[in-house]
Structure 1
Amino acid sequence: METFPENHELIGLFECEPILTDPEQEHWFYNQLIFQTVRYDDALTVKINGCYGDLSILWKQGSRELMNLKFEKLSSLEVNMQTNDEFLTAIGSF
């Protein structure tokens, strides 16, 4: 992956620290990051593996799955934070 967000950008976007699959690996790019955010009945789980370019997003409302996306071999992942909008941009080729 050519572009990967800074740690503080990901924490700011998801408003939580990630679960690291390898806590001894200090570089997040070489780790799998799992961000879990819950708001009321909505649960969002985002898994990022920077060195492989993998991104998965699971959004559930209660027990109902609303969205389940998986991307592989992404070339870029960017966090965009503006005054009223925050979003993650993923770029790859298919």
Structure 2
Amino acid sequence: MDNFPELHDLIGFFEVEPVIEDRDVPWFYSKLVFRTIREHNKIYFAIEPGHGKVVFIWESSNELIASLNLENVTALLLFTESGTEKLLAKFAPSTNQLDFELQLKPTIHIKWGNERAM
């Protein structure tokens, strides 16, 4: 990934410490797994920065809401819009994927799609 937040910024966004899969390599080349709970919602967010992969799973009251395997992620960015912190995943231009956007507070919200070929 070309752009990637600092680890402490990701910890601040998810409000949990990640599980780092392989501690024998720098964390950027390992797999970071964040598991966070917001009321009855469970979020699993795994990042493999060195491979451009993200896995997002959202369950609400033990029901699956969304399960996404994102590949060809070129950047992860944290930003604030109208006072709300969001995480943005950008994709390689050749994928025709729109940015994936995740918000955790005050409510969980995701936005993602693909571009229509003209």
TM over 0.5: yes
For residue 86 of structure 1, report the CA deviation from its aligned partner: 0.9
What are the Cα deviations for residues 45-72 of structure 1, in whole angstroms up to 9, with x where unaligned?
A: 0000000000111000122000111111
**Matched residue, 1:76:** 75
Unaligned segments of structure 1, at least 5 residues = none
**Matched residue, 2:20:** 20
Aligned length: 93
**Matched residue, 2:58:** 59
Unaligned segments of structure 2, at least 5 residues = 96-118
1:35 to 2:34 alignment: yes
Structure of higher RCO (CA pairs closer than 8 Å, 6+ residues apart): 1
TM-score (norm 2): 0.73
CA distance, structure 1, for counterparts of residue 23 and residue 82 of structure 2: 33
CA distance, structure 2, for counterparts of residue 68 and residue 87 of structure 1: 18
1:4 to 2:12 alignment: no
CA distance, structure 1, for counterparts of residue 19 and residue 81 of structure 2: 26
8 Å contact kept, 1:4–1:29: no
> For the structure 1 residues 81 and 23, does the alpha-carbon distance in structure 2 shift closer, same or farther, using more than 3 Å as the test?
farther
> Larger Rg: 1 or 2?
2
CA root-mean-square deviation = 1.4
For residue 83 of structure 1, report the CA deviation from its aligned partner: 6.7
